[in-house]
Chain A
Amino acid sequence: MSAAPETISAGSARFTRYFIYGALIILAVVYLLPLYVMLSTSFKSLDEIRGGDMLALPTDPSIAAWVKAWGEACIGVSCVGIKGYFWNSIKMVVPAVIISTLLGALNGYVLTKWRFPGHKIVFGMMLFACFIPFQAVLIPMARLLGLMGLSNSTTGLVMVHVIYGLGFTTLFFRNYYEAFPDELVKAAMIDGAGFFRIFWRILLPSSGPIIVVTVIYQFTNIWNDFLFGVSFSSGEASPMTVALNNLVSSSTGVKEYNVDMAAAVFAALPTLFVYVVAGRYFVRGLMAGAVKG
């Protein structure tokens, strides 16, 4: 429904328009305020932060805090900035996203085009796995990673994120392939095409949109994860979110708010970038994750 109900008199209609725009602008300012404060603080000097106003623009903008956050800030005992942790996150996100998306695509393909008795139960069980509180698997996973020698490693985190992302990626592709015409698959089978050939030549080429949605969803979730990162890694093997929290909550020395904020923006940049570039798909992904079936 895009047709707004029209009001009767012109005067009250104009008042309504003013109200709508006024309310939306105020709300937009409120939503932008934390980001604005974060950015403006990161360009200020500590003196200006202590003496000045949080909402004021920096009088003498400087990128010193950014440089320090990236390469010099102390996290725990080592003072080498957040850059190493940033790369940790990249090394964790890229393989985890690729593997979980690929497996999800294959699972979705089997669950829609090669159905077998019990496929509903299998799917239902994979779907429920999306929702479990991860606290319920935390201790066994910590034990297992320890036994496998993978605790405190990027490989271990990749494994964890692939496993607990599988439910979602399978769900996305299953719902997408459900709407894909069976006739095409059948015709290909009659022509003698096999399982992988049909997937590769028929389904995959038309899977563009759902691949984008899945990749964005997984990328955002894995990059933003904190619980697995803090539970299964420590020190220099930590991902970005854990390092940020350590930096901000450390109580030694002078509290450098500008460095904290610059580090927070670094942590936010990749997902914000994805969101700005592909916001439409981002929202669609969130919705697909929210509305099941």
Chain B
Amino acid sequence: MTTIEPMPVITPERPRKSLGDTLRNGLPKLVLAPSFAVILIFVYGFILWTITLSFTTSRILPVYKWGGFDAYFRLWSQPNWYVAMQNLAIFGILYIALCTAIGLFIAILMDQRIRAEGVLRPIFLYPMALSFVVTGTAWKWFLNPGLGLEHTMRNLGWESFAFDWLVNPNMAIYTVVIAGVWQASGFIMAMFLAGLRGIDGEIIKAAQIDGASTVSIYRRIIIPLLRPVFLSAFIVLAHMAIKSYDLVIALTGGGPGNATELPSTFMYSYTFNRNQMNVGSASAVMMLMGITAIIVPYLYSELREKKQ
């Protein structure tokens, strides 16, 4: 596409540019400048500030005294940080895998000329409109060991039914997975459904004429065609998993003990409650590095494709 650029060329007919022209030519940049400056300062400047803090001896307040890699050594010697990393791995892998699998499954079901699609779709999607705090509150009540699901199942006659994951340190992280999957899988379904609707029907028809079964059409043709959607879903979910903070706070508060600690809750508590700002900053830098490793290659390839 052609670009419209302000032209600083001085033509023989108009040897001098008036002030008005300069202003007019600079106006678009002038309009964009405040936003860009804000991003430069509050995103990139602040990231540098956080990185700086991670190399200082800051505790309760920022102190600009060089502390070297001390905060990073301390971070990586905290058992809590390993718990957080391990939980992120469990949560992240299950969250991404289950959301993708369930989302794809529902999308395929929904794509079979369903009668009540208009009724069903909003039902799968509404959790995405809720705040994580609301989701956490709802599931905390739903999974309440005394009065929730466990109680209901026993009332139904299953006397030995036990579901104490919410208060069981070994299982609590899985309740976060359940609530997270409930919230996001409908959205992933919508992404896959849009992808399915975008597939050329002729290819499917040709395969049917060749006698391919429904299952093999999906396995050999349709799912491979959905590759870009898988990638987008992965990016969205990975990004949400690393950032997720509210859900854990509302559902388990990071507990019992530190059983559901995640890097995001670790960062918050070390910075604001435990007065170890440099360690908190170091953990924030780690999170940033994790997200950058996922996002930058993706954005780079997306923006490059556009150019061609």
| A interface with B by C-beta (< 8 Å) | 1-7, 20-21, 23-24, 27-28, 31-35, 37-38, 41, 49-50, 53-55, 103, 106-107, 110-111, 113-117, 119-120, 122, 124-129, 131-141, 143, 163-164, 166-167, 170, 178, 182, 185-186, 189, 194-195, 220, 223-227, 230-231, 241, 244-245, 248-249, 257, 260-261, 264, 267-268, 271-272, 274-276, 279, 282-283, 286-287, 290-293
Contact = CB atoms under 8 A, between A and B. Distances in A.
A281 to B, nearest CB: 12
Contacts of B235: 290
Interface residues of B, number: 117
B27 A129 contact: no
A248 B303 contact: no
A137 B50 contact: yes
Query: Closest 5 A-B residue pairs measured CB to CB?
Result: A114-B28, A224-B131, A115-B3, A226-B246, A275-B129
A195 B31 contact: yes
A156 to B, nearest CB: 13
Contact of A7 (B131, B214, B291): B214
B148 interface: yes
Contacts, number: 301
Contacts of A275: 122, 125-126, 129
Given A120-B303, A220-B129, A276-B122, 16 more contacts: A34-B138, A55-B152, A103-B34, A110-B28, A116-B6, A135-B283, A139-B277, A182-B4, A224-B130, A241-B133, A245-B249, A257-B141, A268-B131, A268-B134, A293-B303, A293-B305
Nearest to B264: A135
B59 interface: no
Given A49-B147, A223-B131, A224-B131, A110 B31 contact: yes
Interface string B6-32: 100000000000000000100111011
B297 to A, nearest CB: 12
8 contacts: A3-B201, A31-B126, A126-B39, A137-B42, A138-B267, A166-B38, A186-B4, A226-B250
Contact of A34 (B3, B142, B291, B296): B142
A117 B29 CA distance: 11
A260 B39 contact: no
A24 B109 contact: yes
A50 B123 contact: no
B203 to A, nearest CB: 8
B267 A135 contact: yes
B131 A267 contact: yes
A1 B222 contact: yes
Interface stretch (B69-77, B160-168, B169-177, B236-244): B236-244
Contacts of B40: 125
Interface in B207-248: 208, 214, 217-218, 222, 232-233, 235-236, 239, 242-243, 245-246
A227 B151 contact: no
B217 A5 contact: yes
Contacts of B299: 124, 127-128, 131, 292
